[in-house]
Amino acid sequence: MKLTVFNGSPRGKESNTAILLEHFLNGFMETEGNSYELEYIVNNKDVGKLVEMFKDVGNVILAFPLYIDCMPGIVKSFIDNLKSLCGRQDNPTIGFMVQGGFPEAYHSRFVERYLEKLAKRLNCQYAGCIVKGGIEGIRVMPQFMTKKTFNYFYELGKIYGKSGKFDEELLKRLAKPEHLSALRRLFFRFASSIGMAHVYWNKQLKENNAFEERFDKPYMR
């Protein structure tokens, strides 16, 4: 199987999306004869080239992070430029991968519905959608915290490499929790009240020189 993968994260090669794709593709390559091409949307200003790549392959995976319950602007721009291919008979089989910082898979279900409809509008065979929350910070997590998730992505890639579809049972396991339990919600409220829940995000804000502006409201008059 020949596969083209589009990484739609604005972080490109340094993204959490790239880390998860690495494990998925390692599994995919377990099947003899499989090959793939990986394209970073953020590094490619020629959208026409991306559309041609999409048009000329048999299998596509579009992977991106959840941004405000939807997708990054670069991904939406790419999708908008696929309009000319709607209804085309030779469009590829397409699957999606959506990862986010929210621990609950529920946050990604709305964009998942959109992506399934998108596949139908493009007249693409739908391979499924991988949904995984709680990924922000995975780059700094110890191995014992990431091993299970990475193994799931590897197994998904391995099965996809043989069947061309995502395994439904693995998708369900990987997506958990769909909703936070009452105990985890209680813990999160406590962590927020003492500031513990904000440590990672405050660090990110400081590294990007945005900490002092974190309460700004630029759209309010």
User: Of 95, 107, 82, 97, whose CA–CA distance to 18 is shortest?
Assistant: 97
pTM of the model: 0.87
Cα 13 to the center of its chain, rounded Å: 13
Residue 160 CA to residue 167 CA, distance in Å, equals 7
Residue 5 CA to residue 26 CA, distance in Å, equals 13
Ordered domains of the chain (ranges, CATH)? 2-179 (3.40.50.360), 180-221 (no CATH)
| pLDDT, tens only, 129-174 | 999 999 988 888 888 889 999 999 999 999 999 999 999 999 999 9
Tokens standing for 22?
């690495």
Strand partners, 8: none
pLDDT of residue 139: 84
Is 113 a residue whose pLDDT tops 70? yes
